[in-house]
Copies of this chain bind each other. A is one copy, B any other.
Amino acid sequence: MKDLLGMSREEFNNFMNSFDTVVTDCDGVLWMGMDEIPGAVKVMTKFKEMGKKIFYVTNNSTKTRVGFLDKFKKLGFNTNASEVICTSYLAAQYISDHADTNKKVYVIGSEGLAAELQTAGLKCFGIGPDPLGMDIGEFTSKFSIEQDVGAVVVGFDEHFSYPKMMKAASYLYNKSTVFVGTNTDEQFPLKKAGVVMPGTGALVRAVETCANRKAFVVGKPEAYLREVLMKEENITPSRTLMIGDRCNTDILLGKRCGFQTLMVLSGVTSLEEVHEWQQSKDPALTQLVPDFYSETLGLLHSKIQ
């Protein structure tokens, strides 16, 4: 693992010439909440000026690619929708490639997820509140399922409910129904002391359990993004740099994809943790060690010619 900021000019230039695609995580690398991490805009702009392809990766499934642009623009990033790789987009790609696209998609998720699926030409239903509203016996006896459902997707859904689980499990009873989970993050970062916001992973595990099937997960650290970027964007994995602040999602994703990996210290993982993993004999830990690290992304600006 090499410190980019400690590299000689020649070494650093070799590094810069070793990749022509940048895939970067957002929170903890580019910004914290609604604040830019200083210098991130300048470095991303520099990468673009140098002709490198840029992709912004997020496990967030609640918006469309276009829907995410607002925040990028507000913070000064010059970003196009085609550079945003959110899990709603990845889910739409996977379903388009693997399900019967004449059939409908049952969506546990947000309006943004449904809109991204629709952008890909898929028919969706299931969005919004779906409470029981009556006695469970009555509900079950009245319960009927739609025909022509080709896929079930589970993303973040604050209206998650027992009827939604029952519908998903029933559609998935037909083994030819494609089953996609956007990501398996267990929790969101704590916002208030002692308040835990369940992540999409809890919803995916619930549906997997009652459907007795495993979901195909499109988000980090699963490597499906590699397939999409190779097919749609013609990237070369060995000439791609993955930047992230969380080794167990971002760096692991990079490793699984055959990318070069750069950890920044402005987010979750600390250098001390990585030093511990380097000493470990457990391959699950040693594979989390990135190729490169930097205090922050912004600090690279002074080294870039």
A231 is an interface residue with CB less than 8 A from chain B = no
- One digit per residue, 1 when the CB lies within 8 angstroms of any chain B CB and 0 when it does not, for chain A 229-266 equals 00000000000000000000000000000000000000
Residue of B nearest to A131 (CB): B131
- Would you call B145 and A198 a contact (CB within 8 A)? no
Residues of B within 8 A of A206 (CB): 198, 202-203, 205-206, 209
Query: Roughly how many angstroms separate A207 CA and B198 CA in the complex, as a whole number?
Result: 8
A160 is an interface residue with CB less than 8 A from chain B = yes
Residue of A191, A201, A202, A211 with highest tally of chain B CB at under 10 A: A202
How many copies of this chain?
A: 2
Minimal beta-carbon separation of A81 from chain B (angstroms):
24
Minimal beta-carbon separation of A211 from chain B (angstroms):
7
- Given known pairs A158-B162, A212-B187, the reply for A145 and B194 (CB within 8 Å) is yes
Query: Roughly how many angstroms separate A210 CA and B174 CA in the complex, as a whole number?
Result: 28
Interface size on A, residues (CB 8 A): 42
Residue of A199, A205, A210 with highest tally of chain B CB at under 10 A: A210
* A-B residue pairs in contact (CB < 8 Å), sample of 25: A129-B131, A131-B161, A132-B159, A139-B158, A140-B191, A143-B195, A145-B194, A158-B162, A159-B162, A160-B165, A161-B162, A166-B198, A170-B194, A170-B195, A172-B196, A173-B196, A174-B194, A186-B210, A196-B210, A198-B209, A201-B210, A202-B206, A202-B207, A202-B210, A206-B209
